Every structure is written in structure tokens, then in C-alpha cells.
Amino acid sequence: MSVHNYTKFHSRGFTLIELMIALVIAGVLALIAYNTYTSYVMRAQRSTAKSKLLEVAQHMERYYSAHNHYPALSNQRTKNNHWIISINLKNSKQKYTLKAQKQKNGLTDNKCGTMKVKSNGRKKPKSCWHSQ
């Protein structure tokens, strides 16, 4: 068989196996990219909730300094509606607990769940309030 005849019968395209391997590699890379992206989105949403909790706590303390009790406020929502911030007053408006609960409409936050700030400055869960 001459060289001319060999190239005549041998195709120059990709085989099905080569295409399938390329698709599997592309799928694995896409999965890694998606997981990384959702992780960063969750961290950003968590940071928004933490800053909103601290902002509300600051307003509560400012009000307490002027009136010697905490104000009775209703539930507030963050701008992006991923978290619900709620206020629970105790002991005749002398103590409070602020909670940030994740909405059902977004990503699931398996690490932090409900974040809390109390009037004594305690923050829970502790793992969510440290740098990530």
C-alpha cells in the first residue's frame, strides 16, 4: 500500500472517543467553575447580612444611649432580599437579639444558617463572624 492510498482511506477528523473525552473535560471544568462561583456569591450575600446586622445593632445602641431602652422595631429586609433581619426584644426593651435568616429564594447557606448578634455583643455562629 503506498502513502497515497493510506491517506485516501484514513479520515482527518476527530473520532467519537476524542470528542467525548473533550466534552467530559469541559464538563468537569464547568462544574468546578460553577461551584467556585456559587461559593463566592454565598460569601458576598453572607457579608451583606453581617453588615446589615451590625448596622442595625449600631442604631439600636445609639437609640439606647439616648432613651435608656431599645426601640421596638419591626422586621427589616436587606436590599437584595436574600436575608430577613429580625429583632427580638427582651426584659422590657433592655436586651435584644438580632437574627439574619436566609431566604428560601436563593442559594442554601449550609455553613452559617441563622446568624445572630445579641445586645451584649455576642455573635453566633462564631465560625461565620471570623474572616473567611
DSSP string for 23-46: HHHHHHHHHHHHHHHHHHHHHHHH
State the pLDDT at residue 25. 97
Question: Residue 31: what are its φ and ψ, rounded to 5°?
Answer: -65, -45
Do residues 132 and 67 touch, judged by C-beta distance below 8 A? no
Instruction: Please list the pLDDT of the chain residue by residue as tens digits (132 residues).
Output: 555 555 555 667 788 999 999 999 999 999 999 989 988 888 888 888 888 889 989 998 999 999 988 887 655 555 556 788 888 888 777 888 888 888 776 666 677 878 899 989 899 888 888 754
Quote the pLDDT of residue 14: 80
Residue 114 half-sphere exposure, CB side, CA atoms within 13 Å? 11
